[in-house]
Chain A
Amino acid sequence: MNAALLELRGVRGGYGETDILDGIDLHVDAGEIVVIVGPNGAGKSSAMKAVFGLLTLRAGRIVFDGEDITGWAPDRIVRRGICFVPQVDNVFRDMSVHENLEMGAFLRRGDLSAAFERVYALFPDLKAKRRALAGNLSGGQRQMVAMGRALMLEPKLLLLDEPTAGLSPRYMEQIFQITRDVRDAGVAILLVEQHAKQALAFCDRGYVLTTGANRCDGTGAELLADPEVVQLFLGGQG
Chain B
Amino acid sequence: MDAYEFINFHLVPGLLLGSIYAIGAIGVTLVFGILRFAHLAHGDLITLGAFLALGAVTLGGLDPWLALPVAMALAAAVAVGIDASCYAYLRERPRILTVMASLGVALMVRSVVQMGWGTDPTTYTTGILRPDEYFGFILLRDRELATFAAVIVLVAALEAFLRLTRWGRAMRAMSDNPDLARLCGVDNRQVVRLTWIIVGMLCAAAGFLLGINTEVWAMMGWWVLLPVFAAAILGGVGRIDGAVLGGLVIGLAEELSVLVLPAQYKSATAFVILLLVLLFRPRGILKGKVL
Instruction: Name the B residues within 8 Å of A89 (CB-CB).
Output: 177, 179-180
**A106 in contact with B180 given A75-B185, A79-B185 (CB within 8 Å):** no
Chain B residues positioned under 8 Å from A75 (CB to CB): 182, 185, 187
Residue among B166, B180, B185, B187 making CB contact with A92, cutoff 8 Å: B180
Let me know if A94 and B176 touch, CB within 8 A: yes
- Interface core residue of B170, B172, B176, B183 (most chain A CB under 10 Å): B183
Contact residues, A105-148 vs B (CB, 8 A): 106-107
A104 to B177, CA, bound (A): 13
**Which B residues touch A205, using CB under 8 A?**
none
Q: Given A78-B185, A79-B185, are A91 and B169 also a contact pair (CB < 8 Å)?
A: no
Q: How far is the CA of A74 from the CA of B179 in the complex (A)?
A: 11
Contact (A91, B180) CB under 8 Å given A78-B185, A79-B185, A107-B185: yes
A84 CA to B183 CA, complexed, in Å: 8
* Partner-contacting stretch, out of A37-45, A95-103, A178-186: A95-103
Does B184 belong to the interface (CB within 8 Å)? yes
What's the Cα separation between A95 and B17 when bound, in Å? 31
Residues of B within 8 A of A99 (CB): 169, 172
Interface flag for A149 (CB, 8 Å): yes
CB–CB B173/A103 < 8 A: yes
Q: Are A106 and B185 in contact (CB under 8 A)?
A: yes
B184, B186, B187: the one within 8 Å of A149 (CB): B184
A197 within 8 A of B: no
Q: In whole Å, how far is B290's beta carbon from the nearest beta carbon of chain A?
A: 15
Q: Is A86 an interface residue (CB 8 A)?
A: yes
Interface presence of A90 (CB below 8 A): yes
A93 within 8 A of partner (CB): yes
Instruction: Flag A154-197 by CB within 8 Å of B: 1 or 0 each.
Output: 00000000000000000000000000000000000000000000
User: How many residues on A have C-beta within 8 angstroms of the other chain's C-beta atoms?
Assistant: 20
Give Cα A29 to B166, complex, Å.
Answer: 35
Chain B: CB-nearest residue to A52: B183
- Does B181 sit within 8 A of A, measured CB to CB? yes
> Is chain B's binding surface mostly helix, strand, loop or mixed?
helix
Tell me if A74 and B182 are in contact (CB < 8 A). yes
**Docked complex Cα distance between A94 and B172 (Å):** 8
8 Å CB contact of B177 from A74, A93, A102: A93
Nearest B-chain residue to A152, judged by Cβ: B184
B189 CB to nearest A CB, Å: 12
Interface residues of B in 19-58 (CB under 8 A from A): none
Docked pose: A79 CA to B187 CA in angstroms: 13
Please measure, in the bound complex, the distance between the C-alpha atom of A140 and the C-alpha atom of B159, giving whole angstroms. 31
In the complex, which residues of chain A have a beta carbon less than 8 angstroms from the beta carbon of B186? 103, 106
Contact B176 A74 (CB under 8 A): no
Closest B residue to A92 using CB positions: B176
CB-CB contacts below 8 Å: B177-222 with A: 177, 179-187
CA of A13 to CA of B106, assembled, Å: 45
Complex Cα distance, B173 from A200, in Å, reads: 35
User: Given A102-B169, A103-B169, A106-B170, are A95 and B176 neighbors across the interface (CB < 8 Å)?
Assistant: yes
Q: Is the CB of A106 within 8 A of B176?
A: no
Per-residue CB proximity of B143-173 to A under 8 Å, as 1/0? 0000000000000000000000010011011
User: Cβ of A84: which chain B residues have Cβ within 8 Å of it?
Assistant: 183
Asked if A104 contacts B184 (CB within 8 A), the reply is yes
Nearest to B33 among chain A residues (CB) is A94
CB-CB contacts of A57-83 with B at 8 A, as 1s and 0s? 000000000000000001100110000
Residue among B170, B172, B185 with the highest chain A CB neighbour number at 10 A: B185
Name the residue in A79, A86, A95 with the highest tally of chain B Cβ atoms < 10 Å from its Cβ: A95
* A95 in contact with B173 (CB, 8 Å): yes
- Residues of chain A lying within 8 A (CB to CB) of residue B184: 78, 103-104, 106-107, 149
A149 vs B185: C-alpha distance when bound (angstroms): 12
Which residue in chain B gives the minimum CB-CB distance to A83?
Answer: B183
What residues on A are CB-neighbors of B180 within 8 Å?
86, 89-92, 103
Smallest distance from the beta carbon of B71 to chain A beta carbons, Å? 32
Chain A residues within an 8 Å CB radius of B169 = 95, 99, 102-103, 106
**Would you list 13 pairs from A and B whose C-beta atoms are within 8 A, ordered by A residue?**
A74-B183, A75-B182, A78-B185, A79-B185, A89-B180, A92-B173, A92-B180, A93-B176, A94-B176, A95-B169, A95-B172, A95-B176, A106-B166
Beyond A91-B180, A95-B172, 4 additional contacts (C-beta under 8 Å) are A78-B184, A92-B173, A93-B176, A103-B184
A residues with a Cβ closer than 8 A to B are 74-75, 78-79, 84, 86, 89-95, 99, 102-104, 106-107, 149
9 shortest interchain CB distances as A-B pairs? A107-B185, A92-B176, A106-B184, A103-B184, A94-B176, A75-B185, A103-B173, A106-B185, A92-B177
